[in-house]
Amino acid sequence: MTAETRAHAPDEVFNQATPFADVNLYALDAPLRDAVARHGAAWIEPKALELGAHCGRPEVLELGHLANTHLPELKTHDRYGNRIDEVQFHPAWHELMKIGIESGCHSLPWATPKPGAHVARLALNHVRNQLEEGSSCPQTMTFAVIPTLRVQPELAAEWEPRVLSNHYDPRSLPADQKRGVLFGMAMTERQGGSDVRANTTRAEALAGGGPGAEYALQGHKWFCSAPQCDGFMVLAQAPGGLSCFLLPRFLPDGTRNAIKVLRLKSKLGNRSNASSEIEFHGARARLIGEEGRGVPAIIEMVRHTRLDCALGSTSTLRRALSEAIHHCRHRAAFGKTLIQQPLMQNVLADLCLDYEGALALAMRLGEGFDRADDSEQRLFTRLATSVAKYWNCKRAIFGVAECMEVLGGNGYVEDSGLPRMFRDVPVNSIWEGSGNVQCLDTLRAMRREPETFNAVVEELNQARGRHDAYDAFLDELVQRFTLTDAMEFRARRLVEGLALALQGSLLLRHAPQLVADAFCATRLGGAGGRQFGTLPAGIDALAIVERSLPG
């Protein structure tokens, strides 16, 4: 009689995994460490190791659960009936924000503009994101606002020092009284969604108008993330057309701006984050750039948030995958631990391949952002950012679902954390342009700047000759792009092909051969199936899993 089949007391617990805790989330991640080194950011390693150890502590990992159990609450009025529109958060939310802000996850490339700075920030963000998704939102927008602020130099001079402060200051005060500020964004309206040119919010110049001048805004925004921020980038219709404005939460005299928070959105996931619906009643804002140039002014903010979407989904996949592998090393069934079961090895290794490819692509984008002064790199990131945002975010949804299934019933209960990750992960696919928007933006970039496609192909050609399946896939992919008929109808297939080719190229050049060969054979060569766990025989699945998360 084995220990598992002998009699046990009803309250005895055995054959259960220990919590995935007391770990270093950076040190355990060989694909991440490799990417940091090859993209010139090895100097961040001491800080990344420190952050990885902190985020792997059980009480810190628990913060994500607490922030999503005790949700933000909107308090529209004080006890006397005065309008205040304050959002109240659980202390866990503030601790999550503090961890990210003090680590420079919102500021590092701008405050420390040295080679590899964007890659270094992505590495830190990747670790911190694994705690939970909701608090990533205001940190990402605060990071991404800098290029748009710099369109209007006098506003950048006023706001940038506050943005780049590594002090988290949640107090509801005018920005000039705070040690650090957060930025949000409000673009979409209920009648238009992604079609921001259908916006109806109006901007009226108060004293002649023009770049940097003050306007009064009248209208609404269907989504504003996040209403507790100190400033917002907003699109509105000025006399000269759709324009971009900096909207402060408080006016220079210390009074509240005329922003009314109607409600907080009740969302599937990302629930710790206070997404809101707001109205403007003559709210004061200052013009960024020229009237009618709102989209060009805000597009760099959008581009940088899309970078974080591509990484954020990868981070959630990483956390879910870590939980799945850890569970399989501790849980036994049918006389073996799950990690010893051949079919489970297949599933886990297949998931690891998706993680390797997604992370490699996100970190390669970081290098492109670091080398923005190089015209070729800027052309590459112009196209590849939309591609990565589309594919990384889409695939992570399926990957997290599979990780939840690996834990079985244990994974389906809230205490495991997997249901929260599963609810959280789709937000990155929707936010900052859903899948169709990314695919159409890819085609639009190619039409306006054909050199963007050439830059991506040049990147892909660097891996030619390393794998037969890769070469054949690349030849067919380039051929597909020469067929101009029904390109919009075929856009998802085209962008998917670009994403897989980019991931394959990076893995062939930088990952261990067993990882690159397995990826190319299954994702590009047709040897894999449509579900995870369909790798062909002959692949060293355990070695792939061990690389992703050492035992």
108-120: b (≥16 Cβ within 10 Å) or e: bbbbeeeebbbbb
Q: What mean pLDDT is predicted for residues 138-158?
A: 98
Six-digit token string for 254: 């210390």
What mean pLDDT is reported for the chain? 96
Q: What is the pLDDT of residue 2?
A: 52
**pLDDT 10s digits, 177-224:** 999 999 999 999 999 888 888 999 999 999 999 999 999 999 999 999
Phi (first) and psi of residue 29, to 5 degrees: -105, 85
Structural element, H or E, at residue 200: none
- The percentage of residues in the chain with a pLDDT greater than 70, rounded to a whole number, is 99
Tokens of 80: 């006397």
Amino acid 1: pLDDT: 46
Q: Tell me the per-residue pLDDT of 269-302, one tens digit each, with 9 for 90 and over.
A: 999 999 999 999 999 999 999 999 999 999 999 9
Give 64's contacts (C-beta < 8 A, 6+ positions apart): 92, 96, 131, 132, 272, 417, 420
pLDDT tens, residue by residue, 38-77? 999 999 999 999 999 999 999 999 999 999 999 999 999 9
pLDDT in tens, 419-454: 999 999 999 999 999 999 999 999 999 999 999 999
CATH class of the domain at 182-294: mainly beta
Q: Find out whether 25 and 316 touch, Cβ atoms under 8 Å.
A: no
CA distance 94 to 92: 5
CATH number of the domain at 297-548, please? Answer: 1.20.140.10
Mean pLDDT value across residues 494-505: 98
> Which of helix, strand or coil describes residue 234?
strand
Please give the residue that has the higher pLDDT: either 2 or 490. 490
Nearest residue to 247 via CA among 298, 307, 197: 298
The per-residue pLDDT for range 223-249, each reduced to its tens digit, is 999 999 999 999 999 999 999 999 999
Q: Is the pTM of this model over 0.95?
A: yes
CA-closest candidate to residue 159, choices 147, 173, 176: 176
Whether the CB-CB separation of 406 and 343 falls below 8 Å is answered with no
Asked whether 187 and 193 are in contact (CB, 8 A), the reply is no
pLDDT of residue 5: 63
pLDDT tens digit string along 469-480? 999 999 999 999
State residue 193's pLDDT score.
85
Cis peptide bond upstream of 226, omega within 30: yes
Show me where the domains of the chain are located. 30-163, 182-294, 297-548
Q: What is the dihedral of CA 288, 294, 298, 302, to 10 degrees?
A: 170
pLDDT at 383: 97
Question: 35: helix, coil or strand?
Answer: helix
Q: What is the pLDDT of residue 439?
A: 98
